[in-house]
Structure 1
Amino acid sequence: MRIDLHTHSTASDGTDTPAELVRNAAAAGLDVVALTDHDTVGGYREATAALEGTALTLVTGAELSCRTADGISMHMLAYLFDPAEPHLHEARELVRDGRVPRARGMIDKLQALGVPVTWDMVRRIAGDGSVGRPHIATAMVELGVVPTVSDAFTAEWLANDGRAYVEKHEFDPFEAVRLVKGAGGVTVFAHPGAHKRGETVPDEVIAALGAAGLDGLEVDHVDHDAPTRLRLRGLAAELGLLTTGSSDYHGARKTVALGECVTDPEVFARIAARATGAVPISAV
């Protein structure tokens, strides 16, 4: 059984529509896929409809943008929560609404640095999705400023604290855990050891999150080398946390393939059993 619990569609910063994502996941031989767009559930309906004719199970979720009290950016994967629960819904809308002024601010900074990116370009690339840095990075690739999207995520450009970086409204991670739990969901800290993305959250903060109800750590991820995975697996065991594996698939925007890292079926069963806000969806 092959289970990928972290993917993105055009509802946020992926390049596959939700329906294409489902079809591609089935074609890749996955049995279970989670749709975890950034701070939005906008792709749920289309993804669910696309299950017809497949043997795939869909896990609904989201990747929540968080920032610790010390200012460290992190992402929280939230699974199988009730998307209509008002408190989490309102908090997600606040984060989502902050994406547009943030993107405009980064565009202004890039223009001041001589990069002729425009809001119209970025909005075209984002389409109906929740606008984010990867859309700006894609515009920079189109302009020939950088060769790949990844090359835009450096201190020279869009990385955390980079020359064109602008902060955004984000969840406090402890509040994110509380809100997701209140909506019947399950929380997993996404790529906690991804040093290339910037400063990582200290182990003592992860321990405090575990004590506050965090369910797991995403251990098997393309941004984690073998020593990092070993360390995180040991930390999870020490704290009594689940460990997951995922691709963090973004379609053509990244070179990662669906199912490149996967989750143990027993861990997935425990995630599904803990959730009370929603259930995994299969074609009828």
Structure 2
Amino acid sequence: MVVNFARTSTSADTLRQVFQKVDAQSCPKLFNFHMHTVHSDGKLQPSTLMEQAIAIGLQGLAITDHHSIAGYQAAQAWLKNWQWRNSSENAPDLWSGVEINANLLDVEVHILAYAFEPEHPSLKPYLQKKPTTGKHYQANNVITAIHQSGGLAVLAHPVRYKRSHVDLIAAAAERGIDGVEAFYAYNNPKPWRPSALETQQVQQLADEYQLFNTCGTDTHGLNLLQRL
């Protein structure tokens, strides 16, 4: 498998196809679209993260540091070197990713951006290693910027916020969100598994609004198979 460096609209099309097939068994051993490195509030070095991803056998992943793509860029460089040394081995697809704070219905939410062009000017305000303010902080503007950069926008962990996920998903869909993080472990179980009730509720809303379902461990610790 040739790694997709997520620099063209084709990579977003490929990711759409993956999202259409994501289910409760996809994460954390086939796909993982939510993880953090030392470049935001995580503990993993990008190189260690990629070593774990390959050891696990991930087919695809995205590093989603908060307001930074430095971890993704380091992982991308590491993976390219790994491929040169292991040309006969399958490599996972690595998509660009970032987690962005935003205001939605007067509540702060997190929006995950995937498969965007990292150098696109529309995303520059969101890649400064800190949350934005003013108009850039509004969810509709975040989603628009992600789309302008060729990427996909996903509402992270919809049941974690101070307002009902029913209201938030409806509002996000109205503003053009592409997907919701349906498969998420809200109580940090070991081994990792998506929370059954919350997953069912989010999936039903995703179906209603014709949104993708995505999955991710939201890893902040030293193990990609866990959140903490």
Of 175, 191, 201 in structure 2, the residue corresponding to residue 231 of structure 1 is 201
Question: Per-residue deviation at 1:63?
Answer: 0.6
Question: How far apart in 2 are the matches of 1:186 and 1:209?
Answer: 13
Q: For 1:185-220, what per-residue CA distance to the aligned partner results, in whole angstroms no more than 9, with x for missing partners?
A: 1011000012xxx51354234223213220101011
Runs of at least 5 residues in structure 1 that lack an aligned partner in the other structure? 100-167, 262-284
Question: How far apart in 2 are the matches of 1:19 and 1:10?
Answer: 11
Letter in 2 for 1:34: A
Of 143, 147, 151 in structure 2, the residue corresponding to residue 177 of structure 1 is 143
User: Root-mean-square deviation (CA), in Å?
Assistant: 2.3
Letter in 2 for 1:214: I
Q: For 1:24-57, what per-residue CA distance to the aligned partner results, in whole angstroms no more than 9, with x for missing partners?
A: 1111221211111101111233201221136222
The answer to whether the aligner puts 1:21 opposite 2:49 as a matched pair is yes
Counterpart mapping for 1:118-197 below 5 A? 171-194=137-160
Question: How far apart in 2 are the matches of 1:201 and 1:248?
Answer: 21
TM-score (norm 1): 0.59
Q: Which moved more, 1:174-183 or 1:61-70?
A: 61-70
Does the 8 Å contact 1:246/1:259 carry over to 2? no
Of 90, 104, 107 in structure 2, the residue corresponding to residue 68 of structure 1 is 104
Aligned residue in 1 for 2:163? 200
What secondary structure sits across from 2:204 in the alignment? helix
Does the 8 Å contact 1:23/1:50 carry over to 2? no
Task: Pick closer, same or farther for the CA change 1:33–1:235 going to 2, 3 Å.
Answer: same
Runs of at least 5 residues in structure 2 that lack an aligned partner in the other structure? 1-25, 187-193
Aligned residue in 2 for 1:56? 92
Does the 8 Å contact 1:4/1:259 carry over to 2? no
Of 242, 247, 268 in structure 1, the residue corresponding to residue 217 of structure 2 is 247
Question: How far apart in 2 are the matches of 1:20 and 1:206?
Answer: 34
Question: How far apart in 2 are the matches of 1:4 and 1:207?
Answer: 25
Question: How far apart in 2 are the matches of 1:192 and 1:88?
Answer: 23
Does the 8 Å contact 2:100/2:131 carry over to 1? no
Question: Per-residue deviation at 1:98?
Answer: 5.7
Structure number with bigger Rg: 1
Question: How far apart in 2 are the matches of 1:181 and 1:23?
Answer: 31
Q: For 1:209-248, what per-residue CA distance to the aligned partner results, in whole angstroms no more than 9, with x for missing partners?
A: 2132201010111116311111111000000001011111
Identity within the alignment, %: 31
Does the 8 Å contact 1:19/1:49 carry over to 2? no
Aligned residue in 1 for 2:32? 4
What secondary structure sits across from 1:43 in the alignment? helix
TM-score (norm 2): 0.72
Question: Per-residue deviation at 1:97?
Answer: 4.5
The alignment of Structure 1 onto Structure 2 pairs a total of residues equal to 183
Task: Pick closer, same or farther for the CA change 1:241–1:260 going to 2, 3 Å.
Answer: farther
Question: Per-residue deviation at 1:85?
Answer: 1.3
